[in-house]
């Protein structure tokens, strides 16, 4: 009998009496034990996915920083597994930042992403001393500057410079649904190529900021390497 297309051997399978098994646990039995609706996450699968990424990174002669996107699932138990597996984390809200710190991620393991950060969230990120705050506009750089000034005034301490990462728009389309494309000038994410130099100058002019990272975002659910290659070439200035 052919296994269903959704099967992931060892993690997601149809077994006895055609029951769904998740990492060896009978989903039907779990639903009787805990009731429904029931959300089940496989610790083994999470660790396996992370291990695959880490193994691939060892083949590349460059430092690679893997960050789990906590917006995918910020359940505290899941975050603990991610931390224990040895990678870093990307948060998208003050609540996710709180959770990341609470489960034991070091500040230098945390990146704060998102287009609508509040003043309070920026204050919390700056005071925690996280690795980087990703910014999507020159205006947002100003907001981070204000957060650093507030922290230094209120804490009366030599708070180090905040690290900001510029989120660039490579202006490359993909064949995915328009609503999923995040690398166009019409997208809500990122800084356009015409604003990059001004954004870097803004960051470099202020000692309270440390502008060191540039990155891009592009969604292509079909996983074509041609789109990724063009994005990287554009980001590195080779096209």
Here the CATH number for the domain that contains residue 136 is 3.20.20.10
Is the pLDDT at 220 greater than 50, yes or no?
no
User: How far is 20 from 121, CA to CA, in rounded Å?
Assistant: 41
Question: Is residue 74 domain-resident?
Answer: no
pLDDT reported for residue 215:
58
pTM above 0.85, yes or no: no
Is 98 or 2 the better-scoring residue by pLDDT? 98
Is the pLDDT at 37 greater than 70, yes or no?
yes
The Cα-based distances of 239 to 228, 229, 233, 235, 236 in angstroms read 13, 11, 6, 9, 8
Is the pLDDT at 182 greater than 70, yes or no?
no
Domain count, the chain: 1
Question: Is residue 87 domain-resident?
Answer: no
210 contacts 163 by C-beta, under 8 angstroms: yes
Question: Is residue 156 domain-resident?
Answer: yes
Q: Parallel, antiparallel, or unpaired for β 67-69 and 20-22?
A: unpaired
Shortest CA distance to 190 belongs to which of 215, 210, 208, 209?
Answer: 215
Question: Is residue 63 domain-resident?
Answer: no
Is the pLDDT at 238 greater than 70, yes or no?
no
Give the confidence band of 173 by pLDDT, cuts at 50, 70, 90. Answer: low
Question: Is residue 3 domain-resident?
Answer: no
Question: Is residue 162 domain-resident?
Answer: yes
Q: What is the mean pLDDT of residues 57-73?
A: 92
Q: What are phi and psi of 82, to 5 degrees?
A: -60, -45
Spell out the SS3 assignment of the chain. Answer: CCCCCCCECCCEEECHHHCEEECCEEHHHHHHHHCCCCCCCCHHHHHHHHHHHHHHHCCCCCCCCCEEECCCCCCHHHHHHHHHHCCEEEECCHHHHHHHHHHCCCHHHEEECCCCCCHHHHHHHHHHCCCEEEECCHHHHHHHHHHHHHHHHHHCCCCCCEEEEEEECCCCCCCCCHHHCCCCCCCCCCECHHHHHHHHHHHHCCCCEEEEEEEECCCCCCCCHHHHHHHHHHHCCCC
pLDDT reported for residue 2:
81
Query: Cα(first)–Cα(last) distance of the chain, in Å?
Result: 50
229 contacts 164 by C-beta, under 8 angstroms: no
pLDDT reported for residue 214:
58
pLDDT reported for residue 216:
57
Q: What is the mean pLDDT of residues 38-48?
A: 96
pLDDT reported for residue 107:
97
User: How far is 197 from 216, CA to CA, in rounded Å?
Assistant: 15
Is 213 or 8 the better-scoring residue by pLDDT? 8
Average pLDDT, the chain: 83
Q: Parallel, antiparallel, or unpaired for β 20-22 and 25-26?
A: antiparallel
Question: Is residue 77 domain-resident?
Answer: no
pLDDT reported for residue 81:
98
pLDDT reported for residue 189:
67
| Most confident option among 73-87, 159-173, 202-216 | 73-87
Domain that holds residue 204: 113-235
pLDDT reported for residue 196:
76
pLDDT reported for residue 150:
92
């Amino acid at each position: 009998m052919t296994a269903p297309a959704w099967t992931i051997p060892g993690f997601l399978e149809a077994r006895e009496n055609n029951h769904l098994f998740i990492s060896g646990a009978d989903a039907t039995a779990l639903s009787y034990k805990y009731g429904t609706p029931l959300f089940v996450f496989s610790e083994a699968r999470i660790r396996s996915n992370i291990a695959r990424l880490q193994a691939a990174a060892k083949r590349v002669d460059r430092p690679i920083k893997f960050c789990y996107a906590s917006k995918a699932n910020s359940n505290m138990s899941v975050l603990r597994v991610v931390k224990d597996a040895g990678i870093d984390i990307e948060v998208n809200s003050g609540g996710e930042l709180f959770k990341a710190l609470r489960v034991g991620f070091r500040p230098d393991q945390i990146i704060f992403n998102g287009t609508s950060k509040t003043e309070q969230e920026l204050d919390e990120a700056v005071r925690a001393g996280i690795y980087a705050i990703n910014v999507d506009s020159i205006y947002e750089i100003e907001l981070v500057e204000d957060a650093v000034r507030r922290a230094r005034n209120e804490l009366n301490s030599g708070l180090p410079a905040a690290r900001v990462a510029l989120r660039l728009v490579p202006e490359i389309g993909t064949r995915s649904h328009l609503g999923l494309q995040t690398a166009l000038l019409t997208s809500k994410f990122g800084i356009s190529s015409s604003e990059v130099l001004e954004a870097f100058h803004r960051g470099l002019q202020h000692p309270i900021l440390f502008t060191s990272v540039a990155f891009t975002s592009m969604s292509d659910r079909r996983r074509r390497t041609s789109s990724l290659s063009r994005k990287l070439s554009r980001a590195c200035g080779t096209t």
